[in-house]
Amino acid sequence: MLDFISQKTGDKPELLVIWLHGLGADGHDFEPVVPQFVNPDKAIQFIFPHAPIQPVTINGGMEMRSWYDIKMMDIGKMPDEAGIRQSEQQVLALIEAQIKAGFKAEQIVLAGFSQGGAIALHTATRTQHKLAGVVALSCYLPIAEKLSEEQSGKNLTTPFFLAHGSHDPVVPFALGQSSFQALKAAGYSVSWHEYPLQHGVSMDELEDIKRFILKL
Q: What pLDDT digit, counting tens, does each position of 122-162 carry?
A: 999 999 999 999 999 999 999 999 999 999 999 999 999 99
Residue-wise pLDDT for 38-69, tens only, equals: 999 999 999 999 999 999 999 999 999 999 99
- Cβ neighbourhood burial of 205 (10 Å; 0-12, 13-18, 19+): buried
Q: pTM for this structure?
A: 0.97
Residue 160: the pLDDT is 98
Residue-wise pLDDT for 74-132, tens only, equals: 887 888 999 999 999 999 999 999 999 999 999 999 999 999 999 999 999 999 999 99
Sign, CA dihedral 82-95-137-155, equals: positive
Alpha helices (H) along the chain = 81-100, 115-126, 147-150, 173-185, 203-214
Residue 113: the pLDDT is 98
pLDDT higher than threshold 90 for residue 179: yes
Q: Map residue 55 onto helix, strand or coil.
A: strand
- Residue 52 · residue 22 · CB < 8 Å: no
How open is the CA angle 100-104-110, to the nearest 5 degrees?
A: 100
pLDDT higher than threshold 90 for residue 201: yes
Annotated catalytic sites, by residue?
114, 168, 199
8-state DSSP, 134: E
